[in-house]
């Protein structure tokens, strides 16, 4: 892998999350019945940052849950021994507006798996999707409601999202596969 370009620094990510927080509040006419669920791994800190931004706007913070979709993925071999971490959604999702939060939207298979996992836990009023980066190449008819930045990419490129909470820095870069 070789570095190709930096798409966003920490400041740009913060600005995008503030903008998206405003969009979420506006689209949902406030935060009543709203909750955010981060898809492991980097969706969780993004959901927490969005919730804090919403608190700054509305004076109250929507609840945040953590979703592990490992067993819902369709790209894991039945012979594989997947590593499953825990899902932690400490609130009832029935009748709620759920915003699923992920770092990169690529084939949309993660989003599909997340929706399957959510509907196994209950029946939300609606499910919305936020992706910090939408890089194109959807294989399923799924589209994000909120996007931090759309970046058309080639299949040989990798979008690398780093977050302070996990990686010690916040940035979004494009890497190129080297042969």
pLDDT at residue 116 in the model: 96
For residues 62-66, average pLDDT: 98
pLDDT at residue 135 in the model: 97
Over the range 154-177, which residues count as b (16 or more CB within 10 Å of their CB) and which as e?
A: eeebbbbbbbeeeeeebbbbbeee
For residues 62-76, average pLDDT: 88
Non-local CB neighbours of 88 within 8 Å, separated by 6+ positions: 65, 66
- Contact between residue 39 and residue 106 where contact means Cβ atoms under 8 Å apart: no
Identify whether 15 is preceded by a cis peptide bond (ω within 30 of 0): no
Task: Give tens-digit pLDDT for 95-154.
Answer: 999 999 999 999 999 999 999 999 999 999 999 999 999 999 999 999 999 999 999 999
Minimum mean pLDDT range among 27-31, 57-61, 174-178: 174-178
Query: Token pair 């070789």 is at which residue?
Result: 2
Task: Indicate the fold that domain 2-71+94-176 takes in CATH.
Answer: Rossmann fold (3.40.50)
Separation between Cα atoms, residue 51 and residue 49, nearest integer Å: 5
pLDDT at residue 86 in the model: 85
* Radius of gyration, CA atoms only, the chain: 16
pLDDT at residue 73 in the model: 77
Domain boundaries, the chain: 2-71+94-176
pLDDT at residue 9 in the model: 98
pLDDT at 77 over 70: no
Task: Give tens-digit pLDDT for 17-58.
Answer: 999 999 999 999 999 999 999 999 999 999 999 999 999 999
pLDDT at residue 84 in the model: 65
pLDDT at residue 74 in the model: 74
* Closest by CA position to 164, among listed 17, 44, 45, 21: 45
pLDDT at residue 122 in the model: 97
pLDDT at residue 11 in the model: 98
pLDDT at residue 178 in the model: 83
């Amino acid at each position: 892998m070789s570095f190709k370009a930096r798409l966003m620094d920490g400041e740009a990510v913060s600005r995008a999350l503030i903008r998206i927080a405003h969009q979420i509040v506006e689209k949902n006419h406030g935060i009543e019945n709203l909750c955010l669920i981060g898809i492991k791994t980097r969706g969780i800190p993004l959901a927490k940052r969005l919730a804090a931004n919403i608190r700054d706007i509305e004076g109250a913070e929507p609840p945040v849950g953590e979703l592990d979709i490992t067993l819902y993925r369709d790209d894991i071999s039945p012979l594989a021994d997947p590593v499953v971490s825990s899902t932690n959604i400490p609130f009832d999702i029935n009748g709620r507006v759920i915003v699923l939060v992920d770092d990169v939207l690529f084939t949309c298979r993660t989003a599909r798996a997340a929706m399957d996992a959510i509907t196994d836990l209950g029946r939300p009023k609606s499910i919305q999707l936020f992706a910090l980066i939408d890089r194109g190449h959807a294989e399923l008819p799924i589209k994000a409601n909120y996007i931090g930045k759309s970046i058309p990419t080639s299949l040989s490129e990798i979008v690398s999202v780093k977050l302070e909470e996990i990686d010690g820095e916040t940035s979004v870069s494009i890497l190129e596969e080297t042969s």
